[in-house]
Amino acid sequence: MSSNVKGVFAHLDCLMTGIDRLERAGYDNMIVAAPLPRHEIEDALYKGKPSPVRWWTLCGGILGASTGFILQSLTALDWPMAIPGGKPLVAIPPFMVIVFECTVLFGGLATFLGMLYHCRLPTKSMEVEVCDPRFSDDHFGLILKDVDPERRQKAAEILAGAGAIEVTPTVSDSSEADAPTEEAPKPEEVTNVD
């Protein structure tokens, strides 16, 4: 049996309470599944740390701009026109159009790749607890990953106490049943359990 704990929430405020209580109890390896992006979830879990996708966009844009400029300049210099009408071979203003288009094209493609990379998409191997059709409809999911057997019961209690409509394993479950072959790393000592 999996060492994960899953709570299903029908209410956003209960979910936020659950996240908050679990964090204060020292559980930090959690996944929140939601049918829509909510800022409060992102703020609670990432504390305003921006997504690294922006670096992909920047690098893609710079790469695109340089590719566009180099492509045009080198091809113009490769076969210099005998009479360019007094105009420079490498002419900045008309080149800017293609430089701009390449910036957007490469920047967009890089953003897309960056998003797929950081979201780990495409994937077939998500935690089985996350794969719940309710999470794309009208419920929220809170999954704690690799919880120690002795702390699972406590986590389930916190989830149920926060207002989860369904908790796996159930709170009444005795935790000894699925204790063997536990190899998850030991979490640090918890001092601030309320």
Residue numbers 164-193 binding other proteins by CB under 8 A:
none
Q: Which stretch binds other proteins (CB under 8 A): 110-118, 151-159, 172-180, 181-189?
A: 110-118
Q: Which is nearer to other proteins, 153 or 158 (CB)?
A: 158
Query: Dihedrals φ, ψ of 158, to 5°?
Result: -60, -45
Residue 132: CB minimum distance to other proteins, A: 8
Interstrand relation of 140-144 and 30-33 (parallel, antiparallel or unpaired): antiparallel
Other C-beta atoms within 10 Å of 81: how many?
9
Q: Is 42 among the residues that bind other proteins (CB under 8 A)? A: yes
CA gap 28, 47 in Å, rounded:
13
Q: Identify which of residues 114 and 169 has a Cβ nearer to other proteins in the complex.
A: 114
Please state the closest distance from residue 23 (CB atom) to other proteins, in A.
Answer: 13
For other proteins, the binding residue among 3, 26, 38, 149 (CB under 8 A) is 38
Which of 32, 26, 14 has its CA nearest to residue 148? 26
According to CB under 8 A, which one of 107, 158, 159, 169 is a site residue for other proteins? 107
Q: Which residue has the tokens 């966009």?
A: 57
State yes or no: residue 145 binds other proteins (CB under 8 A).
Answer: no
Q: Which of 62, 63, 130, 179 contacts other proteins by CB under 8 A?
A: 130
Task: Assess 46 for contact with other proteins (CB under 8 A).
Answer: yes
Count of residues in contact with other proteins, rule CB under 8 A: 64
Strand partners, 8: 141, 166
The span of 21-29, 105-113, 144-152, 173-181 binding other proteins (CB under 8 A) equals: 105-113
Alpha carbon separation from 42 to 36, 38, 49, 95, 114 (Å, rounded):
11, 7, 9, 42, 19
CB of 42 to other proteins, least distance (A): 5
Q: From residue 127, how far is each of 4, 69, 102, 142 by CA, in Å?
A: 9, 45, 39, 12
Q: Is 50 in the site for other proteins (CB under 8 A)?
A: yes
